[in-house]
Amino acid sequence: MNLKYKRRYDSLKRCVKSYLLENAALTDEICRLQAELSVTRSQRLYLIERLMFHEGLEKSNSGRPSVSNGKADASDTQKKYSPVVMHKNPNEDKPKSVTIVRKKKPMFPMNLNNVLLHSLGEIISVNPNFHSESWIYPVGYVATRIYAHPKDPRKKCVFTCKILNNAGIPQFQIIPDNDLDGVFFGESANMCHMDLLNSIQQSPCVKVKIPFDVQGEVFFGLSNQKTQSLLMMDPAFNQCTNFKGFAVQNVQSLNSVSLSFETLQGFLS
């Protein structure tokens, strides 16, 4: 009888030893993967910052003369170096010069008070999914703004707002720069904004019910008058058949708890 239990005891010892070795190997593998994940997150944040920078840089350089076969476009060169027309006044000996004023192209990134516009994007007029009666959703639109962190509303967070083309359907994204794993996305701006507000409401730091008001287009900066003026300059603007006119923006809504970090802090305190 003692020999039987001795054999069982030796078998259990061997199993425990095997499990200890396996657990140690798994622990080492987890530590290695966590280190790689940390490096990957840093690289993603760096690439996003570089992407935002180059998007703004390419737009700002769009005002330069176009180059074809190593030579500047003749039309742009002619406009830039057009001769000065001189008109002689019979009552004066000195001639007066007439200068030609050209309309400057917008320079990005552009500060719109509470939103920093990096890329206006492109209007897709042939697809009614990218515009409604009151809004236009240009593909490639990129803007950043400061608001409360979804996990800790007492801390500031820079959010990147994007509009992408997902197989003919607009995809809206709200990306917190210091938490790239917590991206909010959906088929409408209100859906993304609502998910962000729900995440803030469910934060352990929030002990009260916050009177949030979902304003997705305003959060993205699409309601800004400057943004709307730039969209109206797009040749495809007049081809949006479903669009009737931009919704009137309530200036007081910009200071609501759903959009303003300072107002939210005052409510939480």
Token digits of residue 201: 């409401």
pLDDT of residue 61: 52
The SS3 assignment for 146 reads strand
pLDDT of residue 73: 46
pLDDT of residue 55: 53
pLDDT of residue 253: 72
- Cα separation, 69 vs 87, whole angstroms: 38
pLDDT of residue 5: 82
- Cα separation, 62 vs 194, whole angstroms: 36
Domain extents in the chain: 110-268
- Cα separation, 239 vs 124, whole angstroms: 9
Token digits of residue 166: 């997902």
pLDDT of residue 65: 43
Token digits of residue 17: 């030893």
Q: What is the pLDDT of residues 208-267, one digit of tens each?
A: 888 999 999 999 999 999 999 999 998 899 999 889 998 876 666 778 899 999 999 988
Token digits of residue 149: 């962190």
**Residues of the chain with confidence (pLDDT) below 50:** 59-60, 63-88, 90, 92, 94-96, 98-101
DSSP 239: G
Contact between residue 163 and residue 192 where contact means Cβ atoms under 8 Å apart: no
Contact between residue 118 and residue 142 where contact means Cβ atoms under 8 Å apart: yes
Q: How many residues does the chain have?
A: 269
pLDDT of residue 63: 47
Q: Which of 175, 148, 143 is nearest to 159 (CA)?
A: 175
Residue 120 CA from chain centroid, whole number: 11
Terminal-residue alpha carbon distance, the chain? 72
Return the residue matching tokens 């840093």: 42
pLDDT of residue 217: 93
Bridge partners, 97 (sequence order): 86
- Cα separation, 4 vs 220, whole angstroms: 74
Provide the b/e sequence for 67-97 (b: ≥16 CB within 10 Å): eeeeeeeeeeeeeeeeeeeeeeeeeeeeeee
Which CATH class for the 110-268 domain?
Answer: alpha beta
